[in-house]
Amino acid sequence: MTRQRDHQIDQIDRTRNLGIIAHVDAGKTTLTERVLFHTGRIHAIGEVHEGTAHTDDHPIEQRKGITILAAAVTCAWKDHRLHLIDTPGHVDFTIEVERSLRVLDGAVVVLDGVAGVEPQTETVWRQADRHRVPRLVFVNKLDRVGADFARAVREVATRLGANPLPITLPIFEGDRLVGVADVVGLRRLAWHGDGPSAPVVTPLALTDAHLGAARERVLEACADEDPAVLEAVIANRAIDPATLWRALRAATIAGRVVPVLAGSAYHHRGVEPMLDAVVALLPSPRDRGEVGGQRPDPGAPLVALAFKVVFDEFGQQTFVRVYSGTLSRGQTVHATRAGKKLRVQRLVKLMAGEREHVDQLEAGEIGAIVGAPIGNGETLCACDAPAVTLESIHAPDPVVRVALEARSSTDRERLGVALGRMTLADPSLRLETDVETGQTLLAGMGQLHLEIAVERLALEHGVAVTTGRPLVAYRSTLRRAVRRDYRHVKQSGGPGQWAHVVIEVGPGARGSGIVFVDRISGGAIPREYVRAVEAGVRAAAATGLLGGHPVVDVVIALVDGGTHVNDSSELAFHVAGSLAFRAAAVDAEPCLLEPIMSLEVTSPEVHTGAIVGDLARRRGQVLGLELRVVHAEVPLAETFGYAGALGAMTHGRGRFTLEPARYEPAPPRRSV
């Protein structure tokens, strides 16, 4: 038994759960494809531009040449098991990155060697910071004209606020990238030809000033972690590479350094050293320690998190990360959020669109449950152990809406089920109803997000819809503070309704949402009635003002009130809270808030003037100008059709990225 447990713990120590994250077109999927090839998981390399990449197996991904769904694969490298998730780079699909990072132990951030740190790079970096995920940086596409490894390293420090530490450097012969220099192991790795080949490894002489400086930085970082390295450096003694790797591992897991590697995934340069660094530097599940109080122990009671739901021809498939214990086929588990028990009929490990059926998933592993009705963010526990609820997955608020209308009566019958499945699978999609027309509205993170959602309705669910023009997801708020004394009295022959509330409403901090404050003293209103008032207030705020746009960033204080000995009830105070808030809001100068987007435009310098002028006409504000890059903020309502306008201004040579920044008051008489 002890031997079996030791083996299980050794397996956990040799497991790496990592994600590939980056800005769109940085080369994440190409790198993933090379990883699968070099680990022996596949034997024929697919390409993104040909629609044959193994992790981009969805027809829409193959047609558009972009990743829209995070794909999980399992492979092995040097006696280590790698669970790898290839994530989308487009900001519209940020939920895929969010829920992946929620369950991963480490990440590889891919940078375009020409573009450097791009806007979505900053977004995914902040997401990784929030989840405290240690990471490596792989500077890709160094074989391209204009690539600059040193500039990319500087931008990791200046734009991401990290402490980059190059551990491999690019080696060029003329303008051609031929290999990398391993600064830790003092090796030169060179590849011949443009296709896959084993690197030629030779000793590395530190004759170049850049190599010498990089080696000194590595030694300094390791000396900060390990006194033995410091003594060896001071005594000018040779240091075993294994000792340096151990020190670097400690610094990486603690977040004190971010190792940076060089390469070109498309031409197979630097992929093997990157895999070596993943194994040597990124944490195992045990290195990450407790999550929600759960240790990665195969002998402990089961605790697992369902972090993603997909629907295919086999029904529902739920991705799970096992944090402790073992999840077995045929096991009955407790879903703590739903408060129900369910039986695990089938378990699989994933290779993008392919499945490998397994009997169990142990602590630290990622796999999927097939066929069970499990919600996103659900915690699964052993039935005979205390219930545990892990932190769920945060979905960002949508900023764009589109009206949907089924094309036929058959489509109308199936539309509700299809939308229910889509919003379950993608929590950043929301269903809303237009209060004036009764139309069904689908809200999402951007135009591309909604366009692909409509395509998936037809492709995956066989439901054809027509759509209206995109609508901005406005919000409403209040400009000034108001006090309202409200009595709700209703007599209908039987038990009546009586509630008296005094509330104060006013503007709150931007981004604070709805803040409810209980200032009742002396027991004027019982605790259960206070909760009913809060529920009524929040329901009224969600229903919205000014055309039904939800109310945000307000503070509501319940300051006084009274009850009736016979006719007061929770229902009466719920109604009183709702009506009191609506009455107060009318006098508190309600106003619209519109989403402001962070915009980055890249184009030849000759077009900068035209771009800046166009942004001024769109109510945009230029924040900064760099070589070929314009940083700005612009209201979302002014960005519809921007792709075509930018193409016309730059003769097709401009590109841009948009991501939500915040909400700000909309101009008066804004049409919504």
| 399/663 Cα distance (integer angstroms) | 10
Q: State the first-to-last Cα distance of the chain, in angstroms, to the nearest integer.
A: 67
Q: Is residue 311 part of a domain?
A: yes
Question: Which of 197, 208, 273 shows the shortest CA–CA distance to 241?
Answer: 273
Mapped onto helix, strand or coil, the DSSP state of residue 570 is helix
Give the pLDDT confidence score for residue 2 in this predicted structure.
66
Produce one character per residue of 25-47: b if its CB has 16 or more CB atoms within 10 Å, e if not.
bbbbbbbbbbbbbbbebbeebbe
Final residue of a domain: which of 355, 382, 409? 382
Question: Which of 287, 310, 309, 292 shows the shortest CA–CA distance to 364?
Answer: 287
Q: Is residue 357 part of a domain?
A: yes
Same domain, 122 and 223: yes
Q: Is residue 258 part of a domain?
A: yes
CATH number for the domain that contains residue 356: 2.40.30.10
Q: Is residue 117 part of a domain?
A: yes
Give the pLDDT confidence score for residue 218 in this predicted structure.
95
Residues of the chain with pLDDT under 50: 671-672
Q: Could you read off the pLDDT of 604-642 as tens digits, one per residue?
A: 889 999 999 999 999 999 999 987 889 999 999 898 888
Same domain, 248 and 372: no
| 470/642 Cα distance (integer angstroms) | 13
Final residue of a domain: which of 436, 453, 473? 473
What is the amino acid identity at position 66? I
Q: How many CB atoms lie within 10 A of CB 394?
A: 13
Same domain, 227 and 107: yes
Q: Is residue 296 part of a domain?
A: no
| 476/544 Cα distance (integer angstroms) | 7
Give the pLDDT confidence score for residue 672 in this predicted structure.
46
Give the pLDDT confidence score for residue 125 in this predicted structure.
93
Burial of 463 (0-12, 13-18, 19+ CB in 10 A): buried
Residue range(s) defining the domain that contains residue 448: 400-473
Q: How many CB atoms lie within 10 A of CB 81?
A: 17
| 652/645 Cα distance (integer angstroms) | 10
DSSP for 118-183, please give it. -HHHHHHHHHHHHTT--EEEEEE-TTSTT--HHHHHHHHHHTT---EEESEEEEEETTEEEEEEET
Q: Is residue 271 part of a domain?
A: yes
Total domains in the fold of the chain: 5
Q: How many CB atoms lie within 10 A of CB 656?
A: 18
Instruction: Give the angle subtended at the CA of 551 by the CAs of 548 and 557, to the nearest 5°.
Output: 135
| 520/531 Cα distance (integer angstroms) | 12
Final residue of a domain: which of 238, 256, 284? 284
Q: Three-state SS string across 228-254, please? A: HHHHHHHCCCCCCHHHHHHHHHHHHHH
CATH number for the domain that contains residue 491: 3.30.230.10
Same domain, 327 and 197: no
DSSP single-letter state for residue 301: P
Same domain, 466 and 484: no
| 349/370 Cα distance (integer angstroms) | 11
Same domain, 214 and 94: yes
CATH number for the domain that contains residue 659: 3.30.70.240
Give the pLDDT confidence score for residue 484 in this predicted structure.
94
Q: Is residue 185 part of a domain?
A: yes
CATH number for the domain that contains residue 430: 3.30.70.870
Give the global pTM: 0.81
Same domain, 279 and 260: yes
Q: Is residue 491 part of a domain?
A: yes
Q: Are strands 621-626 and 629-635 parallel, antiparallel or unpaired?
A: antiparallel
Q: Could you read off the pLDDT of 130-157 as tens digits, one per residue?
A: 999 999 999 999 999 999 999 999 999 9
Question: Which of 150, 206, 199, 200 shows the shortest CA–CA distance to 183?
Answer: 206
Same domain, 152 and 22: yes
Give the pLDDT confidence score for residue 73 in this predicted structure.
87
Same domain, 367 and 247: no
Same domain, 490 and 369: no
The answer to whether 94 and 58 are in contact (CB under 8 A) is no
Going from the C-alpha of 518 to that of each of 450, 556, 559, 597, 624, the distances in angstroms are 40, 9, 7, 35, 45
Same domain, 187 and 117: yes
Same domain, 328 and 459: no
